[in-house]
Amino acid sequence: MWAMASPLIYGVVSDVVARVALPEPIVEFGSMQVEEGQPNDLRRLFAGQKFIGTDFRAGPGVDRIEDLRELRFDDGEVGTALCFDTLEHCADPLRAARELRRVVSSDVGICLLSSVMLIGIHGYPSDYWRFTPEGLRLLLDGFDDVDVAAWGDPTHPFWVFGLASKGRRLEVRLSDLPSLDASQREYERADGRVRLGPFRYPLRQLAGELAREVPRVVGERARARTGELRVPLRRRRAGPPANPPPFASS
């Protein structure tokens, strides 16, 4: 599932770009290209527009260093704020969200973000938080219009997306975006995969896991069962009780 993160986010941003007028400058918070070979460089979607990539450390895709908890942008200086799979790595996400709201234009500003929920702990360089859909909505509190959508199982989603605006109503809802809708439908169909709770396993992968785990579980149960059978046998061989019943022969 983790391998789907970048393509899914890239598709969502592509759909938003095609449907929403995004004011400049477009600023991505958390723009460092950590993993090579994945479609996570978003600036190509904004050709001809002012795009600024920021992160708290230097690296590929980073134009300037910024700390989400104390941004150096002026109030309302950012037209469109992008922040993908980054807030879970911020030690104070509530403060970061307030900073995003502060720097986004109060007239036509847009904020588009995502965060993982049902994903294992990972670096970049630290991993602190997980957000439910309502948790992400809370982070966007204070914007004029907010929409939130999740990808995956409704009760245990893998990713949560948020879209918010200031000074105008949103022109689209996240669940209507073609990329998110198609990916969610594919997840629900689980073609060629086995459904186990919120997870979808290719049959070969599941078979490999079971080949390792089933012998272990069967062995543990067999050992436990053998132990249960031996306890009564030892008790029968332990001799007569210390206080025999009154009718025992002398």
Sign of CA dihedral 34, 37, 38, 43: positive
Tokens read off for 46: 């904004």
Tokens read off for 135: 């948790």
CATH number of 2-189: 3.40.50.150
One digit per residue, the tens of pLDDT, for the chain of length 250 reads: 445 568 899 999 999 999 999 999 999 999 998 877 666 789 999 999 999 999 999 999 999 999 999 999 999 999 999 999 999 999 999 999 999 999 999 999 999 999 999 999 988 889 999 999 999 999 999 999 999 999 999 999 999 999 999 999 998 999 999 999 999 999 999 999 999 999 999 999 999 999 999 999 998 998 888 876 665 555 545 554 444 444 343 3
